[in-house]
Amino acid sequence: MSKLVTIYGGSGFVGRHIARRMAKLGWRVRVAVRRPNEALFVKSYGAVGQVEPVQCNIRDDASVRAVMQGADAVVNCVGTFDAKGKNSFEAIQHQGAERVARLAAAEGVARMVQISAIGADADSASDYARSKAQGEQAVLNHMPDAVILRPSVIFGPEDSFFNRFAGMSRMGPVLPLVGADTKFQPVYVDDVAHAAVLGATGKAAAGIYELGGPDVGTFRAFIEQMLTVIRRRRWIVNIPFGIAWVMGKGFETLAGLTGGLFPAPITSDQVASLKSDNVVSQGARGFADLGITPTSSEAVLPDYLWRFRPSGQYDLIKESARHMRAD
C-alpha cells in the first residue's frame, strides 16, 4: 500500500501545493482542514480516493490524533494572523504546533515538517514572531528530527502580498507602505512546497531551513516591480513606524468594537514585524542545501497579476494594436 501523509492546513496557500506534489509522487494525502466541504477541490490532485479532505480542529487533541492515524509523515501548515480569540497566535502557532508534534511522536509517525517563518524569534517584539519560535521549539521537543521551514514572504497566484497591493493600486494615485525600506526576499510558493516534500519523504536532513528567493530588495522595490507588471503608476508613500503603530491600534479597536465587521488592514504587531528585515540569515541552511534552485518573482508575477492591469487580459491586445497602428 502507498504511504500516507497528513497535511494540517492542506487546502491553504502553501498546503495545497504540498498536497499536489505528494499526490504526484504516489502518496495518499489526507488534507486536514476545519471545513472539508470547502476543500473538495484537493480531490482533483490525484486519482479517485487518493487525496481526501478531512475535518480537523488543531486546538483539539482527539481531532488532531484521529486524522494522523496510520500516517507515515505529517506536515503542519496551519498559521494565523489573529492575535487574540480562540484562534490566536498562542493557540494556533504555539499550542497547535506542539499538539501535532506531541501526538505524532505518540503515534509513532516517522517524519514531521513544520512551516514556520523567517523572523521566528523567542525574544522578538512581535507576538507573531514569538509564537512561531515557541511553536518551533515545541515541535523539536517532541520530534527532534523534524524539518522546520522558515520562508520569507511567499508569493504565488493566491498570495496575500502582491495580490493585496495590486488590488490597493486600483483605489487611487497613492500607495501607502509601512516599512518601505525593510528588506524582503520573496519566495515562490511551489519552491516552499518542494522543500516540504523533501522533508516529508525523508530526503532532507533534520533541522531548520530559511527559505528566500534569488532576489533581495526593499519593500518599496518589490512594490515598484509589481506596479511595473500591472502597468500602473502610483506614488508610494512610506508611513513612519510611530504613526503606523497608532493607526494599527486604532484599527484593532475598531475591529473589536464591530465584532470583526471591519477587519484591521494593519495591526500594531505587524508594524513591529516590519521593523526587521525579512531575509535569510547569514550562514543559515536554505535551498542550496536542499538542491533546489529558487524561482524569481520576475518570472512568475506576470502570470497572475495581469488581471490588475488597466484593461486586464485585454491589455496586451491593446498594446499590440497600438504597435500595428504605429507601423
Q: Quick one: DSSP state of residue 79?
A: -
Question: What does the DSSP 8-state code read for residue 233?
Answer: -
Confidence class for position 85, pLDDT limits 50, 70, 90: confident
Give me the pLDDT at residue 321, please.
58
Model confidence at 307: pLDDT above 70: yes
| For residues 233-247, average pLDDT | 95
Q: Across residues 81-100, what is the average pLDDT?
A: 91
What whole-number percentage of the chain has pLDDT above 90?
86
Q: Is the pLDDT of residue 296 over 90?
A: yes
Give the burial class of 100: count Cβ atoms within 10 A of its Cβ; 0-12 exposed, 13-18 middle, 19 or more buried: buried
Burial call 242-260: b when 16+ CB within 10 Å, e when fewer: eebbebbeebbeebeeeee
Distance CA 111, CA 101 (A): 10
Specify the DSSP element, H or E, that contains 97. helix 97-106
Please enumerate in sequence order all residues whose Cβ is within 8 A of that of 233, keeping only pairs 6 or more positions apart, or say none.
Answer: 173, 227
The predicted structure's pLDDT at residue 67 = 96
Selection from 149, 132, 148 nearest residue 192 by Cα: 149
Residue 180 has pLDDT above 80, yes or no: yes
- Which pLDDT belongs to residue 280? 96
Residue ranges of domains in the chain, CATH in brackets: 4-156+186-214+279-294 (3.40.50.720)
Beta partners for residue 28, in sequence order: 4
Answer yes or no: are the C-beta atoms of 10 and 29 closer than 8 Å.
yes
Query: Which residues, at least 6 apart from 131, have a Cβ–Cβ distance to it below 8 Å?
Result: 89, 90, 92, 93, 94
Which DSSP symbol is given to 92?
A: I
Give the pTM.
0.93
User: Looking at the DSSP assignment, which residues form a beta bridge with residue 112?
Assistant: 74
* Predicted confidence band of residue 124 (pLDDT cuts 50, 70, 90): very high
More confident call, 318 vs 112: 112
Structure confidence at residue 261 (pLDDT): 80
Q: pLDDT band at residue 57, thresholds of 50, 70 and 90?
A: very high
Q: Which of 266, 275, 118, 267 is nearest to 182 (CA)?
A: 275
Query: Average pLDDT, stretch 36-49?
Result: 95
Q: 13-31: per-residue pLDDT in tens?
A: 999 999 999 999 999 999 9
The pLDDT assigned to 99 comes to: 97
Q: How confident is residue 315, by pLDDT bands cut at 50, 70 and 90?
A: low
Q: What is the pLDDT of residue 38?
A: 95
On the question of pLDDT at 247 being above 70, the answer is yes
Handedness of CA 90, 92, 95, 97 (dihedral sign): negative
326 pLDDT higher than 60:
no
Strand runs (DSSP E) across 215-310, as ranges? 217-218, 235-239
Predicted pLDDT at 318: 61
